[in-house]
């Protein structure tokens, strides 16, 4: 009989296999997409070992020895999902031919935004960076279709309530009459767009230029590069979470 100490939780095993972040893997299990030794598993407490057969969406998964950390400059028009039921262009397709490992995005950028997004097959790394307690800075450059309201930057730093949701950025600096730099920590869904919409300010372009200590640099839209070991370690050190 397999010793208990040689087993790990199913969602942890899936994350180490590069399926998705641990949190996303939990949802895969709850949705009935995971089969262990011929049985569908929909409970989160199940543990597995290396001798167990685990299938996700009918495909057997394996532990991946090589951990990958990739920075992509996502162009507009691509969604951050491993697949899309509406058959839209998927960001991971821009890098999948470069790597044999199964990679997934850490966090998201909406379809109409561009810029920095990280892909990995390291579940622990993804979980630490995406956990709310990480407080990892994300910097954006926003270009608008009309002049910025004079109070927008200050109001956003103080906090703006929209439909009972409170939005506040860490920093906002006007670069010119139609361009502003915004730094977020929490980053609620479509936060910048909702704040600008509340002030009737149209967005011409929204680009994420930095995640923590990692910037886009000279990467053009659609281009990608491997993160260095130093960059990976620095990102993890920036995360405030100790346990997750």
Interval 41-59: pLDDT, tens:
999 989 998 889 999 999 9
Mean pLDDT of 114-130: 90
pLDDT score of 100 more than 80: yes
φ, ψ at 24 (rounded to 5°): -65, -35
- Helix count (H) and strand count (E) of the chain? 6, 17
d(CA 89, CA 86): 9
d(CA 82, CA 63): 19
Tokens coding 2: 């397999």
Integer angstrom CA distances of residue 94 from 82, 99, 233: 12, 11, 25
DSSP code at position 52: S
d(CA 95, CA 152): 37
| pLDDT bracket for residue 242 (50, 70, 90) | very low
Confirm whether pTM is higher than 0.85.
no
Active site residues: 110
Q: What is the mean pLDDT of the chain?
A: 90
For residue 87, the model assigns a pLDDT of: 75
| pLDDT bracket for residue 178 (50, 70, 90) | very high
Q: Contact at 8 Å (CB) between 179 and 144?
A: yes
**Strand pairing class (171-176; 59-60):** unpaired
d(CA 171, CA 232): 24
């Amino acid at each position: 009989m397999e010793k208990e100490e040689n087993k790990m939780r199913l969602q942890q095993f899936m994350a180490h296999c590069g399926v998705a972040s641990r949190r996303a893997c939990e949802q895969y299990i709850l949705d009935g997409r995971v089969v262990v030794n011929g049985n569908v598993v929909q409970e989160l407490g199940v543990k597995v070992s290396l001798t167990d057969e685990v299938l996700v969406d009918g495909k057997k998964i394996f532990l991946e020895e090589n951990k990958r950390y990739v920075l992509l400059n996502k162009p507009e028009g691509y969604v951050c999902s491993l697949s899309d039921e509406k058959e839209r262009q998927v960001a991971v397709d821009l890098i999948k031919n470069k790597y044999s490992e199964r990679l997934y995005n850490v966090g998201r950028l909406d379809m109409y935004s561009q810029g920095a997004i990280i892909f990995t097959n390291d579940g622990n790394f993804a979980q630490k960076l995406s956990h709310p307690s990480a407080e990892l800075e994300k910097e954006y450059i926003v270009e608008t279709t009309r002049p910025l309201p004079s109070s927008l930057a200050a109001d956003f730093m103080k906090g703006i309530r929209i439909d009972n949701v409170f939005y506040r950025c860490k920093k906002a600096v006007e670069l010119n009459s139609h361009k502003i730099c915004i730094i977020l920590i929490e980053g609620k869904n479509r936060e910048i767009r909702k704040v600008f919409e509340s002030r009737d300010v149209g967005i011409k372009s929204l680009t994420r230029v930095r995640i923590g200590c990692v910037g886009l640099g000279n990467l053009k839209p659609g281009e990608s590069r491997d993160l260095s070991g130093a960059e990976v370690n620095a990102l993890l050190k920036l995360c405030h979470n100790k346990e997750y």
